[in-house]
Amino acid sequence: MTNVINNFKKLFNGNPLFSVVTPGRVDLMGSHTDYNHGYVVTMPVDLKIECAFAPCEGDILTLHSCNLDTLVKINVTDGAQIEGDNWGKYVSAVVKVLLDEGYALKAFNGSFCSSIPIGSGLSSSAALEATVNAILGKVSGFEIDKKNSALLTQKAENVYVGVNCGILDQYSVIFGEKHKVIKLDCRELTHTLVSWPKNIMVAICNTNKPRTLHGSEYDERRAQCEEAVAVFAKMDSNIKALRDVSIEFFNMHKDKLSDKARKRAEFIIQENDRTHELEAALTNGDVDKLKDIFARSFNGAKDLFEISNDAMVHMYKAMSTATGVVASRQAGAGFGGCMVSLVYADKLEDFKKDVIKTYKDLTGIECVVYGVHTEQGTHIENI
């Protein structure tokens, strides 16, 4: 936090009054289950945004990013971006959504640094949205509960950024808790906390391969899942989403689906079941089961949901053969970006070395591996 406080002082010639921290997140099971009204086992992590801020006079908020050393200026009465970098769209989107809800907003000055790698599947944009939402509430004198904060920041992303994401990212970064992972019910918007085995750490492995065609492929997967639901709903009117389809029902009626819709639906139904399997394995301390649950998830993501690419296949090989590995799979939307492994804590450094070397040998690309811990969701403190 010292860093952002000093940046604030230099930029704004005064002292910040508050700090806000928002984690990134990595999903441990449940790829693309969120918009299918299913479950996700998700972990808010200590790759995070830290921001120092203070209210200011006038209608223009100024926010500085130390990572890019750029700033954005947004009018808090209409959400218009007056000045600054492209990432201002996330800030402006949150302002607009809050204005739509009827909140009167006050301006602020802020400076943040983020250790969440940008655009690599760890919710860097949701973390920024949740941070801005919390700051605006604090300086304007209102408080929105966590569930509505998650819904409003998701709406900001959907309506004003134009990305049709589910609730996973915003919910995770707002509801995080230390020492626990979250099992999120994306239909009810509730969660249970799952305890974490002490001797196992989570390692995030960044393929450092920019995600390609991400937006359009994501929308296509959503449409294919909806196509399957439309067919099944004609047979059983209780089916509103793939969450409502059992594997037995699917197997009985799968020949009525197009090839693509069948593969997508099969993955989602199995992946959703795996969230329950993972919860049970973690709760009962069945470490032996983790490898297989994660492997089925990765293979389904590759062969059925088809969100894998060459970099991810090479990374999977590097992760699965590294010292100390327990289990490995994809993370986020797929199509490159970050992947995730569970690793024996005392072997983390050996794991990192092995993954970096094998992945470099296979791809020529230098990757980054982060050992991460759970982190509390968006929280504000006085400075």
Q: In what helix (H) or strand (E) does residue 293 lie, and over which residues does it extend?
A: helix 290-303
Strand 379-382 with 18-29, pairing: antiparallel
Q: Which is nearer to ligand GLA, 53 or 160 (CB)?
A: 160
Options 7, 31, 36, 120; binder of ligand GLA; rule CB under 6 A: 31
Options 8, 12, 18, 35; binder of ligand GLA; rule CB under 6 A: 35
DSSP 148-190: HHHHHHHHIIIIII-----SHHHHHHHH--TTEEEEEETTTTE
# residues near ligand GLA by CB under 6 A = 11
Q: Which is nearer to ligand GLA, 183 or 347 (CB)?
A: 183
Q: Is 169 annotated as catalytic?
A: yes
How long is the chain? 383
Nearest distance from C-beta of residue 345 to ligand GLA, angstroms? 26
Give yes or no for residue 277 binding ligand GLA (CB under 6 A): no
Nearest distance from C-beta of residue 22 to ligand GLA, angstroms? 15
Q: Which is nearer to ligand GLA, 64 or 209 (CB)?
A: 209
Nearest distance from C-beta of residue 64 to ligand GLA, angstroms? 26
Give yes or no for residue 150 binding ligand GLA (CB under 6 A): no
SS3 329: strand
- Annotate 18-33 with b (16+ C-beta within 10 A) or e (fewer): bbbbbbbbbbbbbbbb
Give yes or no for residue 36 binding ligand GLA (CB under 6 A): no
Helix axes 310-320, 348-363, angle to 10 degrees: 140
Give yes or no for residue 24 binding ligand GLA (CB under 6 A): no
Strand 108-114 with 60-65, pairing: parallel
Give the tokens for residue 157: 């992303």
Q: How far apart are CA 217 and CA 164, in angstroms?
A: 11
Nearest distance from C-beta of residue 277 to ligand GLA, angstroms? 17
Of residues 237 through 276, those in contact with ligand GLA by CB under 6 A are none
Q: Which is nearer to ligand GLA, 110 or 332 (CB)?
A: 332
Options 24, 332, 336, 377; binder of ligand GLA; rule CB under 6 A: 332
Nearest distance from C-beta of residue 77 to ligand GLA, angstroms? 29
Task: Identify the residue whose tokens are 């470490």.
Answer: 287
Q: Which is nearer to ligand GLA, 92 or 297 (CB)?
A: 297
Q: How far apart are CA 28 and CA 31, in angstroms?
A: 9
Annotated active-site residue in 34, 169, 244, 354? 169
Nearest distance from C-beta of residue 237 to ligand GLA, angstroms? 26
Strand partners, 112: 51, 65
Give yes or no for residue 49 binding ligand GLA (CB under 6 A): no
Helix axes 124-140, 88-100, angle to 10 degrees: 50
User: 158: number of CA atoms within 13 Å, CB side?
Assistant: 15
SS3 1: coil
Of residues 166 through 225, those in contact with ligand GLA by CB under 6 A are 166, 168-169
Nearest distance from C-beta of residue 152 to ligand GLA, angstroms? 15
Q: Which is nearer to ligand GLA, 56 or 163 (CB)?
A: 163
The contact set with ligand GLA (CB under 6 A) reads 27, 31-32, 34-35, 165-166, 168-169, 332-333
Active-site amino acid positions = 169
